Amino acid sequence: MSKHSFEELLLEAVDDGLSSLGDSSKQVIYFHLEKTFKLNKQEIPQKIEEFADAIENIFGHGAKLLQIIIMKRLYEKVKGSIKYKAQLEELIFTQYVAAVKQSFLKKKTRIASTQKTKTKLRPHL
């Protein structure tokens, strides 16, 4: 499990997704997000709906492809399964990010709990 926070992994996934359009395009998009939509890159994890709306505003129907790329990168970065009651194909971008975050945090909590238990069971020398 990564030692990064979910927010860091999400930002990396967004950055990777935008990089698929080319580095100069990525920089223009970040500039446009900040100037037109008042959305700073570092705020994206806390304002995922605003980010999704801004990307849809910029790219129209093409935003879906970019969102899929970001979702794939995010899935790779969290290295785990996603548990969600609806079919994953039916999820919209913001729901997908929320589902991945929930799974990520549950897994991280389980790992931390397991590590605490192992530490308690170790004999002190």
Rounded to two decimals, what is the model's pTM?
Answer: 0.77
Per-residue pLDDT tens over the stretch 64-114? 889 989 998 998 888 765 655 555 455 688 888 888 888 888 887 877 777
Neighbouring residues of 63: CB distance < 8 A, sequence distance ≥ 6: 52, 55, 56
**Residue 82 and residue 99 in contact, taking contact as beta carbons nearer than 8 Å:** yes
- Could you give the dihedral angle defined by the CA atoms of residues 7, 10, 12 and 18, in that order, rounded to the nearest 10 degrees? -140
Sign of CA dihedral 86, 64, 53, 25: positive
Count Cβ atoms below 10 Å from residue 6 Cβ, excluding itself.
20
- Which residue type does 108 have? K
Residue 1 has a pLDDT of: 46
Helix locations, the chain, DSSP H = 6-19, 23-37, 48-59, 63-78, 93-121
pLDDT above 90 covers a percentage of the chain that reads: 50
Q: Comparing C-alpha atoms, which of 100, 64, 74 is closest to residue 15?
A: 74
Give the CA distances from residue 119 to residues 41, 89, 105, 114, in Å, rounded to whole numbers and listed in that order: 38, 41, 21, 9
CATH code of domain 6-121: 1.10.1200.200
